[in-house]
Amino acid sequence: MTARNTFAQGMTLTWRSLVPLRNQPGELIQLLLQPIFMIVIFVVVFGAMSGDQSGAVQRLLPGVLTQVALTQTITTGLRLAEDIGNGVFDRFRSMPIARSAPLMGRILADTATMTLTVAVALLVGSVVGFRIRTSPLEALGGVALLLAFTLALGWVSAWLGLRARSAASMQGLATAVLLPLSFGSTALIPAANMPGALQWWARLNPVSHLADSLRSLFTGGPVGANVWITLGWIVAITACFVPLAVRTYARRIR
């Protein structure tokens, strides 16, 4: 199997994962509605409650963006579990293609949809009044940091999906992992406003560092150690879960 063949097969399988978005309007709408709903509910409604609409939008949107992106990392493992469950995976395995192509296609396709989701979320954010106050370089750095973090989590998701008995159990498992990460963080509420134990967890939680990094990189203010801590987490998660996912994958495709 030459590298060129492997790449071509990976691209074909990326296409295969993205083309349903074009086939079925429902799929695309579902993908776009999630960021829109989350922003409307958390940013607009909570903002209106707080009285200071524009200040709330500036504070909350980076957090909601983090949560939207986090939720979407489930897709990677969920689709892998589906492919295993309904036999598509076996079809690929019985064919003379690179063993890595199906996993590569999945990750590439999910990175593409994640980029789209982040772009839509920022667009919707700007409609409800969110303004980036920093330099384009800092803003791009923020987007890159978010994408790198979700890619790292995508490998965790892949690992869970490859181990799960079914797509449904993958979804349950992933939700159990994501909820404390997503809501036990400073994405929406500052740690200072939390009760003791939760505060301790929120300060430890990598998602807090990510959300705080994004706030600084998009709206200004001291970046501090948050970006470095987030980068550290990205490296640690990637170093841990890429080998785990690849090993589980190798066992499943044998």
Partner 1 sequence: MSNTIEAEGLVKRYGDKTALDGVDLEARAGSVLGVLGPNGAGKTTAVRILATLVGPDGGVARVGGHDVTREPAKVRELIGLTGQYASVDEKLTGRQNLMMIGRLLGLGRAPARARAEDLIGRFGLQNAADRAAQTYSGGMRRRLDLAVSLVGEPSIIFMDEPTTGLDPQVRAELWTVVREQIARGATVLLTTQYLEEADQLADEIVLIDRGKVSARGTPDELKARAGDRRLEIRPEHDAEKAERILAEVTGLRPHRGENGVISVPVLDPALPPAALRRLDDAGIVLTEHALRRPTLDEAFLALVAAPAEGLTDHTAANAAERRSA
**What is the closest distance, in whole angstroms, from the C-beta atom of residue 74 to partner 1 in the complex?**
17
The helix-helix angle for 74-86 and 167-183 (nearest 10°) equals 170
Query: For partner 1, which is the closer residue by CB, 60 or 97?
Result: 97
Residues 121-160, one symbol each (x = binds partner 1 by CB under 8 A, - = not), give: ----------------------------------------
**What is the closest distance, in whole angstroms, from the C-beta atom of residue 246 to partner 1 in the complex?**
19
Using CB under 8 A as the binding rule, whether residue 166 contacts partner 1 is answered as: no
| 161 close to 77: Cβ distance less than 8 angstroms | yes
Using CB under 8 A as the binding rule, whether residue 101 contacts partner 1 is answered as: yes
Q: Phi and psi of 52, rounded to 5°?
A: -105, 85
- Number of shown-chain residues binding partner 1 (CB under 8 A): 26
254 SS3 class = coil
**What is the closest distance, in whole angstroms, from the C-beta atom of residue 252 to partner 1 in the complex?**
11
Residue choice 30, 48, 93, 247 for contact with partner 1 (CB under 8 A): 93
| 130 close to 44: Cβ distance less than 8 angstroms | no
Query: For partner 1, which is the closer residue by CB, 93 or 247?
Result: 93
Q: State CA 77 to chain mean position distance.
A: 12
Residue choice 25, 96, 136, 196 for contact with partner 1 (CB under 8 A): 96
Tokens 């979407």, located at residue: 72
Tokens of 232: 């550290």
73 SS3 class = coil
Residues 2-31, one symbol each (x = binds partner 1 by CB under 8 A, - = not), give: ---x--xx--xx-xx--xx--xx--x----
Query: For partner 1, which is the closer residue by CB, 83 or 212?
Result: 83
C-alpha 138/C-alpha 218 separation (Å) is: 7
Tokens of 151: 């890619």
| 245 close to 155: Cβ distance less than 8 angstroms | yes
Given the rule CB under 8 A, which residues bind partner 1? 1, 5, 8-9, 12-13, 15-16, 19-20, 23-24, 27, 86-88, 90-97, 101, 254
